[in-house]
Amino acid sequence: MVDGFTVITDPSRRRILDLLLAGERDVNELVGELGAAQPNVSKHLRVLRDAGLVGARVDGPRRVYHLTNTPLADVEAWLAPHRARWARAFDALERHLDSTGSTPSTEENQP
């Protein structure tokens, strides 16, 4: 099985995952949206299937791809401590702003 880091290193595979977030697509739809050759898209789909992130169903002559419920567990595990650090930093900033009474006004955020 391919690890999550290997899967997401390629921008085309990340784009396929992003496109499939919106719903199922067949390979021709993915080819059109990626602007890539069909054999290349099929190779990326094979990597995503091998990683368990994408599944396919047969619909007549088409193979329709969808996201599975398999998370990128190794990527998520690596990100967890970083996410916790960012949360602590934002919490500290919020506490600081609350203590100084500094909050952005609505007028400052208007275009």
The amino acid at residue 5 is F
* Domain count along the chain: 2
Strand order in the sheet with 54-59: 25-26, 62-67, 54-59
Domain that holds residue 21: 4-67
| Overall pTM surpassing 0.85 (yes/no) | no
Residues 50 and 21 in one domain: yes
User: In 22-60, which ranges are continuous DSSP H helix?
Assistant: 27-34, 38-50
Residues 19 and 62 in one domain: yes
How many Å separate Cα 73 from the centre of its chain? 13
Cβ atoms 16, 33 nearer than 8 A: no
* Averages of pLDDT over each 10 residues, the chain, 111 residues: 80 95 95 95 95 92 91 80 88 90 59 57
Residue 85 counted as domain residue: yes
